[in-house]
Amino acid sequence: MTYTALDEKFLTENTDIITEENLNENLFFNSENLAHHRAMAELPQGGYYRLNTALNRRQRRAYGRMLKKQLQAIDIRQIHPPCVPLSNRKTGEVTYPNGLQIRKDVTTNADTIAKFQKVIAAKEWEATKDQMMLIVLPEEYQYIDELTGVKVIYGLLDGNHRFKAITGLGEDVIFAWVLDMNLGEIWEFGNAFCNRDTNVVQPRTNADISNALVKTVIDPESDLHKLVEATKEEGYTGKSIDEILEDKLRQDYDVDGTQINAVLRIFNASEEHEYHSDIKRYYASEVSEWVARNRPGWVIMDGAKTSEGIYRNPETDQICFVYIDKGSVMLHTVLKLAKMVQQYPEKGFMVIHVISPEVANSYTEESIKAKDTVIKTEFYEMIKDIANLGNMLDTDKGVNIRHARLPLYPNEMTRNNLIYV
């Protein structure tokens, strides 16, 4: 428990602290506005129900709990400022060099702060949106601010830009939910819930999500850490690391499809952990990196771009085509091969396919062999189909193919006809 009797005693005895009992009614965050925000938060569409639901995850222990069921007016001086290093007083270690900022390599943006200040000045602060969140800092992170003489006991979990906007306008307090939460949970909760809200001006990035995933997976107390650690046990027959991570992203971060692959790509590139995917996913840049690292003698064919994946192997005098099997890439590779065969008929050729990173996890070491065969067969069938079409065009019987386009210009549109070429 982070919220102690000593903290409660300090709050009640320090009469200099601004609370809801002595708010400055001339400021925006005053008693009337607090009552309004509390009323709005309790509506079905208000922030209380969303936050309470998010804190209490289904089938797993809660992220944390609300210490008060109402929004609180908290003296700004009691809050550790965003993006300011936070140290452990017992060890002296700067555990959080960017404060409790849960975004990857992000501080705060001046334009965003100015936007919130305009909202406050116009009294357009949206009370039904999710309000700022504070967590009670563990005792070893609490400290007396040398400038104000006030004990700092809260950390800002969500609302960095709003906080700076409010302090910049000379307000005394913020309205916030006060949470009891283990510091190890802030990365996941912050990016899975806080930065998903439409109230967020700077949406989370794939790097933010990946960073939260890394921080969570290396936390020995996290559910995710325990799940991936279990995969190392002898005789383990449960889900793979990939499946565990994908489930986590779908269920807690509400992401799917190509975004999962993008997040896992960043996650797997991180050296902060040892829980990399069970199967290697190759993206375009990684394909060329693999060739450069493992086939250093191969050179890009004259006139070709690195992204085209056409190499010359000086040792075998072969022209090699490396392509990711997705979409129409196979067809384009066949067409490139056709041109190279015409240009260099004396050369040997080699085609190397790469399983698409979007579906790589769909295969096992056994089933991938069948997929390899399917891709090889489809490649040759495509060559045959194109060759057969070319042969038919060159015969007397031929193929009757007409070419047209859809109308573009006003005089063409009025006729609603195809424009034959």
List pLDDT tens digits, range 242-253: 889 999 898 888
Strand partners, 404: 420
What pLDDT shows up at residue 158?
80
Residues 70-79 pLDDT 10s = 999 999 999 9
Q: Across the chain, what does the average pLDDT equal?
A: 86
Name the band, by pLDDT with cuts 50, 70 and 90, for residue 228: very high
Name the band, by pLDDT with cuts 50, 70 and 90, for residue 199: very low
What pLDDT shows up at residue 391?
83
Question: Average pLDDT for residues 254-268, to the nearest whole number?
Answer: 85
Residue 148 has pLDDT above 50, yes or no: yes
Residue 94 has pLDDT above 70, yes or no: yes
Name the band, by pLDDT with cuts 50, 70 and 90, for residue 197: very low
What pLDDT shows up at residue 1?
40
Q: CA dist 375 to 94, 204, 239, 323, 389, Å?
A: 53, 37, 27, 12, 21
Name the band, by pLDDT with cuts 50, 70 and 90, for residue 385: very high
What pLDDT shows up at residue 155?
93
What pLDDT shows up at residue 60?
64
Which of 89-98, 260-269, 312-321, 385-394 has the highest average model confidence (pLDDT)?
Answer: 312-321
Q: Whole-angstrom Cα distance, residue 74 to residue 18?
A: 7
What pLDDT shows up at residue 342?
93
Burial (CB count within 10 angstroms: exposed 0-12, middle 13-18, buried 19+), residue 199: middle
* Percent of the chain's residues with pLDDT above 70: 91
For the chain, which domains are there?
5-200 (no CATH), 205-278 (no CATH), 284-374 (3.40.1350)
Residues 176-185 pLDDT 10s = 999 998 888 8
Residue 345 has pLDDT above 80, yes or no: yes
Q: Give just the sign of the alpha carbon dihedral 18, 23, 27, 33.
A: positive
What pLDDT shows up at residue 58?
53
The beta strands (E) that lie in 1-153 are given as 64-66, 72-75, 79-80, 97-100, 132-136, 143-144, 151-152
Residue 13 has pLDDT above 70, yes or no: no
Name the band, by pLDDT with cuts 50, 70 and 90, for residue 196: low
Residue 131 has pLDDT above 50, yes or no: yes
Of 186-190, 225-229, 294-298, 404-408, the poorest mean pLDDT is in 186-190
Residue 113 has pLDDT above 50, yes or no: yes
407 and 415 in contact (C-beta within 8 Å)?
yes
What pLDDT shows up at residue 97?
82
Host H or E run for residue 176: strand 173-181
Question: Average pLDDT for residues 80-96, to the nearest whole number?
Answer: 89
Q: Whole-angstrom Cα distance, residue 345 to residue 338?
A: 10
Specify the long-range contacts of residues 354-357, CB closer than 8 Å, at least 24 apart: 354/282, 354/287, 354/322, 354/323, 354/324, 354/325, 355/282, 355/324, 355/325, 356/324, 356/325, 356/326, 357/261, 357/265, 357/281, 357/282, 357/283, 357/324
Q: Whole-angstrom Cα distance, residue 351 to residue 376?
A: 9
Name the band, by pLDDT with cuts 50, 70 and 90, for residue 281: confident
